[in-house]
Structure formats: C-alpha cells, structure tokens
Amino acid sequence: MRKYLFVSLIFIQQLLFAQYTERDYKLVQSTFFRDFNDNIFINYLNSDDTQKANAALLSIAHSSDTNFVHNIIRLDFQKHSSFLFFALGKLGYTKQSIQYLKSKISPELEKEELRELLFAIGRIGSEEDLNFLIETYGQKNQALISAALLQFVLRGIRTNDKKEIDFLVSNLDNDDPDERFYSLYSLYRIGGSEKAIPRFEKLLSSETMSDILFTLANLRRMKSFPFSNDLAEKIIKHKDWGVRVEAARTLAFFDFTNEIELLKYLELLNDSNPNVSRQAAQSISEITMLDSEIDLNNLLLDYLTNGNLTVNSLGELAVSYAKLFNNEVPKFIKIINKKIDDGYLFQIAALHPDKQWKLKFFIDNYPKLESRNAHSYISSFLSLQKDFEDNQKFSEFVIDLIEDDSPIINAITVSFLDSAFLTNNSKFLKELLIRKIINNKDKAGFSEAVPIFAKTFEKISKHDSKNIYEILAESSVPSIAKFANSKLGKPHKSIQPSQDYAVKFDEFFACAFDYRSAVVITNKGEFEIDLLPEFAPITVGNFIYLAKRGYFNGVPFHRVVPNFVIQTGDRTGTGWGGPGYEIKSEFSFVPFKEGYVGMASAGVDTEGSQWFVMHSYAPHLNGNYTNFAKVLGGMETINNIDLNDKILEIKLVE
C-alpha cells in the first residue's frame, strides 16, 4: 500500500481507548436516536474510565449542542486529546472552544496530536483565526499549520490578501512529506497556483508518491503541463498505477508537437490496470494542444475498431471521440452502437446534430432502459433541454419520467431540470411535485427524492415552499424531517423511533462486535476488511446484518473513480438505491487514508447500504463520512476493480 502519512505513537495510544464497546448499549442507543440523554452523557464524561469518556466525546460530536463545551474542556487533556479536539471541531464555533484550542498549540505536542488540534481550529475558526495562525506560526515548521489551512480552504475561508497561498507554496519546500501533502492538497482544492510551478517540476521527480500525485492533480486543475516531453514520458511509464492515472488526466493538457509524443500518451489506453486505461480514454476528450499534422481522428478510430480495450475503456473512448469530432457522430454511431454499453451510447446520442433523431432515439430506448444506466440516460436526455424548449412531445416525456413509479427515475429527472423548463411548465409541475411529496414523505425509499422534489418546488414557487417544508417537518423519516426543519430555520426535534426502527437498532447492535473482519469476494479476486465497531458500531452491525442475508451478493461497483474510491452496495447499480431504511452517521477522527472503508450518503444521517474503499488519502472526507473498516489485505484486487465489476459473496470472520 502506498504510504501518505506517518502514524505517531499518540494516535496509536488513542486507538487503544477507542470509542464504543458492547457495554455501551444505552450511550449508542441515545446517539443513534439523536436524543442525547443528558444523564447518560454527563455520567460518561465524568467517568474515571478513559474509554467511557472518549465514547461520550465522539457521541457528543454528533449532537450540535455547544452546551457540552464547558464539560469537554474540563477533561484531562493528556488522556482525551484526539477525541476532545474532534468533538470541539464538530460541535461548531464558540468563543470558549476556539480560545481553548488556540491555547493548546505547542511544539511539545506529538505531531499527529497537534494536527488533530489544528484540524479542529480549521473546522470552526474565522478569518481572524486564519490570519492569527499564519502570522504567529507561518515561519515555524514545527507548528504544522498546513493541516489547519486545509480546513479553512475546504470551508471557503481565505485571507483578504491571500497570504495563505504564499505560505502553502513556500511550504512545498518543507522536509516533512506530510506538510508537503497538506500544502499540495490545499492548493489543489483552491485550483492550483502559478507561483508553485517551479516547485512542481522538482516534486514530480520526488521519491514520495503523494508529491507526484498531488502535483499532477494541481496541474490538472490548472489545465497545464508546462514541462518537457522527457518528464511527461517518465510519468507515463511510472511504476505506480495511481501516478499513471494522474498522468492520463493531466497530460491531456500537454502541448503535443508530433505524433510520436501523442502515441506515447495513447499507450496508456493499453495499460494493464483497467482504471488507467479507462481514465486515459475519458481524458482524451480534453486534448486540444495538437500540431496540425497530427491525425488524432484516425488514431482514435484505430483504437476503437482494432484495439483490445475493456468494455469501459472502449465506451469512454467512444464518448471522447464523439466530443472531439462531433460532425462525425451520425456515421460513427452506426459503427459503434453494437459494440458499447448503452450507458455510453446515450452520451454519444446526445451529441448527434439531428434534433429530431435524438428525441426519437431517447423515447424509443426508454422501455428497455436498465436501471444501472438510468443516470446516463436521463442526464444525456436532459442535456437537450435548450434544443427542445418549446417542444410539447419533449415536455410530455419529461413529465412521464417524473410520474414514473421509480423514486430513482423521479429524483434524477427532477435534479436535472433547468430554469427554463421549470418556468415553462410551472403550473403542472407544482401540482405534480406536491402530489409526489405528499404521497411519499413517509417512505424511507424516497428519502433522497423527496428533498429534491421540495427544493425544485421552491425554485418554482418560493412563496409557497414554506407550506411544503412544514408538511415535511412532520415526516416519519428522520432525514426528511431534519432537512425540512433546516430549511425552516428550526432546530430538528428528535422523533420517537418507530417500533421497526427500534428493532433494527437492536439487531444491528447485537451483532456489531460478533465478527472481526469480512472477506469480500469479487469477480477480480478478494480483499479482507478489518471492521471497526469501536468507532462505528451501528454501521458495522448494519454491514454484518446485510452481509449475513446475502444483500451484497451480485451487487456491482457502480462508482469507480480511479485513484479515489470504489463504491458498491446499491442493488440497482444507479448510486441512488438502498436497503429501504436509513441509519445514522457515526463520524470519528479516523482518517480516510488508502484502504479505509466508509459509508456513502446523501447527507448527514442518510446512510443505508452503499460503502466505498479508498484508493488514496482524501482528507476532505475526514469527519464528514462514517469510517467503519480498513483493508487488511487485497489492495491489488481493489486497485484493479473496474466499473460494474461485482461482489460475488461476503464471508464474515469471527
């Protein structure tokens, strides 16, 4: 596995006093139902047992109740630092919290401990606090303030004179690879900086993998690779598959001066790793810097007709070809339509120059639409809205999609409607959306769709939307009620759990600590994950509950973002499906490094059955998604999983 960050002794010690055990039923129950019983929580906080106080801290982090702050800061700092910092960072800003955190900054702290502290400051601090960190510690490398700067960047908080950019750029010379990583990641989230280009060239020859990966990511955001062909070729041939993925993304912006240079880039299409090949096929559509003598058209056609590409690489390359050579689409689609998956064919069809042909194609293909291609179909079809602004047949078909019985079809369709369509069809859409909202507000299967309906209704009629949110605030689905209350500016009141919901909790908790790990068997091989019920007991219990019932058998990896994540757990294959119920988020300070396993969600407390495995470290996920397992072995399998590969079986290990 590629290493990005060093784990210090203090972090390991904190893990030994992890959050939950089987003895913490009442605490976990109160956290899960979000009633945060004061008696339970205060008793835990005041306990002499370090584990109990730590458990309370990570439960309190989910409460949004800053009244707990004064109890938190009275705890023994040495025993609870990481848990304490995380809780304060998640609860949100109070003057007392930020003053306490800033007072604890010290070079005497362990490196990871100090980073946790700085993460917390970055999560709740103001622009004034950002200025304070840069001015006070910007020249002291031991302060490790790039960790805090990243959190400020993620929140969109910047200084007036953008002095954080100067610090981040200069910090790329830091001897600490972790510091360089956080600085590169921060610059990447900002969009890169021209000031960093001289340092980027040096970092591309680094022995540290994260230097190369996130330097390339920065250059991609800048749509530039202003270096030599020799350096480009070196990166294309790099031994690490992740670097080759980033090479595929970034070198599409290289100024190819001859066919030999371009052919070296196109060699990525034949890469042994399917994710490198697919990424290259997708990124080729970005190529613009070509010498006029280079015949890209015929080079790509040769790969499309004679190459030995995977199904996904072939599909992505066909889409890229259609984008680059739009005038060739009518002829090209006849050649390619039997060779590629429908999901890619829909994207190409939307590029056809004949408007009536496009409309007929999409209407004719709807009856045979597979659910896994729903997103591609609808997004491609609705990309044509401007072409058919006044076309009644088009509008009627869109309405049919919203009327469909599938919440997935409904939600995807409504989410892609543009303002012109909403205006032109406002009267009918208002009535339709009200009906959809009323009929489905208490159905967990519509937990993603109903908020989309409501937000779209608000776009049509802001004046009437308050009534809609008042109705949804009484929903028996917690995430829908919470969403509505937030729109109304009201605190979310805890809902008495239904009998079914309470039974589910008991079932999940009962098995949360029964199994040590799980072996995930796929069509590409297997990998084993170590379960972390001490940080996410209900999530682990839910995973075990579903796995024991064969829920994941045959389920595809519907989302694979090379060098980021592989995601599965949705039996519909759309990314919108779930088990028919929701569980609560269980956030912690465990970082989303390579090989860690998290729960996908549509927002806080909307998790169900979808989960993902990290290809590489992504700190913007930290504390914002439930981290419930880590890979013990089989990263090679994970790194070779392609879109629509499948889980065959999951075996639980006691």
**For the segment 446-479, what is each residue's pLDDT rounded down to a tens digit?**
999 999 999 999 999 999 999 999 999 999 888 9
Written as six digits, the tokens of 122 are 């970055």
Q: What percentage of residues in the chain have a pLDDT greater than 70?
A: 95
| Domain count for the chain | 2
Classify residue 418: in a domain, yes or no. no
Distance of alpha carbon 446 from alpha carbon 567, whole angstroms: 21
Q: pTM for the full model? A: 0.94
Domain contains 279: yes
Q: pLDDT band at residue 3, thresholds of 50, 70 and 90?
A: very low
pLDDT value at 83 more than 90: yes
What digits encode the pLDDT tens for the residues 248-270?
999 999 999 999 999 999 999 99
- Residue 119 · residue 92 · CB < 8 Å: no
Q: Is 466 helix (H, G, I), strand (E, B) or coil?
A: helix
For position 112, which CATH number holds? 1.25.10.10
Token output for 568: 């599965």
What digits encode the pLDDT tens for the residues 316-347? Answer: 999 999 999 999 999 999 999 899 999 999 99
Q: Report pLDDT for 13.
A: 54
Does residue 231 lie within any of the structural domains? Answer: yes
Domain termination residue (choose one: 286, 318, 338): 286
- Partners of 525 in the β-ladder: 522
The verdict on residue 20 lying in a domain is yes
Give the other-Cβ count within 10 Å of 549's Cβ. 10
Beta carbons of 256 and 287 less than 8 angstroms apart: yes
Question: Domain for residue 473, yes or no?
Answer: no
- Cβ neighbours around 600 below 10 Å, total: 21
Last residue of a domain, one of 254, 286, 318: 286
Residue 435 has a pLDDT of 96
Helix (H) or strand (E) run with residue 518 in it: strand 517-522
On whether residue 160 sits in a domain, the answer given is yes
Largest distance between two CA atoms of the chain? 76
Residue 589 lies in a domain: yes
Number of helices (H), then strands (E), belonging to the chain: the values are 34, 8
CATH number of residue 519's parent domain? 2.40.100.10
Task: Please report the pLDDT score of residue 288 as a whole number.
Answer: 83
Task: Write down the H helix ranges in 416-522.
Answer: 419-424, 426-440, 449-460, 462-472, 478-488, 499-511
pLDDT at residue 19, as a whole number: 83
* Domain span at 163: 9-286
In a domain, 543, yes or no: yes
Contacts of 485 (CB under 8 A, 6+ apart): 473, 491, 492, 493
Q: Of the candidates 286, 315, 341, which is a domain's last residue? A: 286
Average pLDDT over all residues of the chain: 94
